[in-house]
Chain A
């Protein structure tokens, strides 16, 4: 069957067709659609098919650990996240490379070079190398569909997790994908042959780690023989090109037969040393590395070929050091002239994203700004979500925004240093993702902070996914030890402005840890809910 699928959707369909038993994920651009596709598939699941667990996890670490649990029980599990989610789950991810996998375990990391929707650029291939496990990097949507299935099979064959690394343009680009017809069958429950493999006491872990290190040559052999890695000798083999993942597409977009370069396509790591040796034997004197993300392969190549061979790429300036590849920069790196075109039009001004008109976050910032104008040198620490846009005009309400959960703990650190007022502002989903432990720290030291939880009852920025703590935010705060009198709830609407301001004033003036929950449903999900209600 042929389908028009996003790269994310091709991965989801491939995982379903591979007999997936559970997907574990926290939403994050550009990875969100993998889990959403599986959820939609489950809602329409044909009768008789085994269910796939697909409820959102509280964060990437809980997701990774649950997936390890499912793998331990012999079933196939998928973990999906954006690149920065890898940082959150890293403890579990690294441990998983030492325990190994029983049921197939595949981790999909969706990197966002050029930071379209992120706070940094990271290349998750580093993490696969760090953990010494194989990494798959498909070059197109069809390969993504095929490779995710192979990843589950390989994970079970070698008893290790597999990392699949994709980037924005793969995740969010549609192409025709041909899918298999056969009925997926899930694994039955079973325990690992050696259950001690999952007990990482130092004595056991040392043995496991030695096994993982000893398996490395086998992983290289697998990469040499992978159907997704290929080497083609050119008519002028002095010039060679290594193209990885979607870098290969930009190469082929521009490549002309008469260039005669030898071409090594890499979609499975570790680097296929056998194919590289052949490229060197064929007389390569200069190798251009075309890779999306950071110069991971370019650096590695220096250790994989004789030092007389020149390695070119992002580090040498032949390709840009930062940001996404484009057909244009690869064209120039190949020595071709740019296509004739017009200059960019300088009349055009930037149009940054903004909070929706009528959004509750707006009322929170409007009231907060008015109250803080009454104090000397207030500091407001923001977090990750739609409300990060409060840093931009018209509100310009935030003094810092780092990563998930940092609003609470940075506000605490600033208060510890003597800052007052020290305000943290965080969304409900981000709060349950990474804010709760920070709030416990605040309570334990009676930190003089006001934490505003702008609760829109959803994970808004990524399109309105379920939020882990909906309906229980007050209970969670009080359970963590925030005093009942200092857990305040307001409804962020213009008509309530005076009341909200009064609550904020009172809590800023209280010398201790306060939480102000500003609760009103996200307009986007509200629209969807009203539409669905009308239909019924």
Chain B
């Protein structure tokens, strides 16, 4: 098993909380893991990404090579496109469809969607809407994305849910359940292999 995942978004959106859950589940499975993060200046509203690598064999590079990513998980549609040169030809994009508008020259959103459509394996979701429908707060939107990506993570659904429960356990039962519901909503609407 080997999965290379790029997590993308805008500084402050919380891409690392997705990494935390996947990391927890991967460690529990006894997998090797490397996760390169961006700290410092870019966190102030700039583009941010994290390279997450999971494998049953030891991992050398902290960074994913171009053309090496199995999956891009993005909290923002244009940010998903920023890393397409890292995606394997048959790799998947799972992204929120909500643009984050903090720059004056953001491209036409219809154009962004068209470029996403051009990638065969992609899922674009209204993650906040799905979170709300599932009875979860909008902060759980990143858990919807995580759920949508599960079939490509190399860790099965039940084990991932168990990971979510462990990560949120100390925040109380209500928060655990709403995050689980968000993951399930994403899973239902997500990647179908």
Contacts and interface: CB of A to CB of B under 8 A. Distances in A.
B67 to A, nearest CB: 3
Given A253-B60, A348-B78, A353 B27 contact: no
Interface size class of A (residues with CB under 8 A): 35 or more
Contacts of A478: none
A340 B89 contact: yes
B85 interface: yes
Contacts of A349: 78, 103, 105-107
Contacts of B86: 341
A138 to B, nearest CB: 12
B23 interface: yes
B62 interface: yes
Which among B60, B81, B84 has the highest number of chain A CB atoms within 10 Å? B60
B103 to A, nearest CB: 5
A343 B78 contact: no
Nearest to B112: A347
A389 B45 CA distance: 12
A338 B79 CA distance: 23
A49 interface: no
Nearest to A345: B81
Interface in B98-133: 102-107, 111-112, 115
A352 interface: yes
Given A4-B23, A349-B105, A341 B112 contact: no
B62 A173 contact: yes
A241 to B, nearest CB: 14
B188 interface: no
Nearest to A462: B40
Given A174-B33, A338-B67, A349-B107, A354 B45 contact: yes
Given A347-B81, A351-B10, A250 B61 contact: yes
A182 interface: no
A347 B89 contact: no
Contacts of B66: 328, 338-339, 341
B87 interface: yes
Contacts of A176: 27, 32-33
A117 interface: yes
B35 interface: yes
B36 A172 contact: yes
Contacts of A348: 78, 81-82, 107
Contacts of B102: 351, 354
A435 to B, nearest CB: 20
A326 B37 CA distance: 15
Contacts of B157: none
Contacts of B176: none
A6 B66 CA distance: 23
A327 B38 contact: no
B88 interface: yes
User: Main secondary structure on chain A at its contact with chain B?
Assistant: loop
Nearest to A116: B40
B62 A340 contact: no
B39 interface: yes
A353 B11 contact: yes
A249 interface: yes
A347 B78 CA distance: 8
A354 B46 CA distance: 7
B30 to A, nearest CB: 10
A267 B115 CA distance: 44
B34 A172 contact: no
A343 B23 CA distance: 30
A61 B47 CA distance: 33
A305 to B, nearest CB: 26
Nearest to A250: B61
Interface string B46-76: 1100010000000111111111100000000
B37 A172 contact: yes
A322 interface: no
Interface string A237-262: 00000000010111111000000000
A327 B42 contact: no
B41 interface: yes
A331 B68 CA distance: 12
A253 B65 CA distance: 9
A88 interface: no
Given A4-B23, A342-B84, A326 B107 contact: no
A342 B68 contact: no
B43 interface: yes
Contact of B60 (A252, A342, A345, A461): A252
Contacts of B47: 350-351
B27 A4 contact: yes
A335 to B, nearest CB: 15
B26 to A, nearest CB: 9
Contacts of A210: none
Interface in A279-324: none
A345 B82 contact: yes
Contacts of A350: 47
Contacts of B10: 351
B120 to A, nearest CB: 11
Contacts of A174: 23, 33-37
Nearest to A171: B39
A350 B38 CA distance: 16
Contact of A33 (B39, B61, B62): B39
Given A327-B68, A349-B107, A354 B33 contact: no
B44 interface: yes
Given A347-B115, A350-B47, A169 B63 contact: yes
Contact of B84 (A173, A246, A344): A344
A29 interface: yes
A170 interface: yes
A180 to B, nearest CB: 19
Given A32-B39, A174-B23, A249-B61, 19 more contacts: A117-B41, A169-B62, A173-B35, A173-B37, A174-B34, A175-B62, A250-B63, A339-B66, A342-B89, A345-B85, A345-B115, A347-B115, A351-B46, A352-B46, A352-B103, A353-B45, A353-B46, A354-B46, A462-B40
Report the 8 A-B pairs with minimum CB-CB distance, sorted nearest first: A341-B67, A339-B67, A117-B40, A29-B40, A353-B46, A253-B61, A327-B65, A173-B62
7 contacts: A29-B41, A169-B36, A172-B38, A341-B86, A342-B89, A347-B112, A356-B44
Interface of B: 10-11, 23, 27, 32-47, 51, 59-68, 78-79, 81-82, 84-89, 102-107, 111-112, 115
Interface of A: 2, 4, 6, 29-30, 32-33, 116-117, 169-170, 172-176, 246, 248-253, 326-328, 331, 338-345, 347-356, 386, 389, 393, 461-463
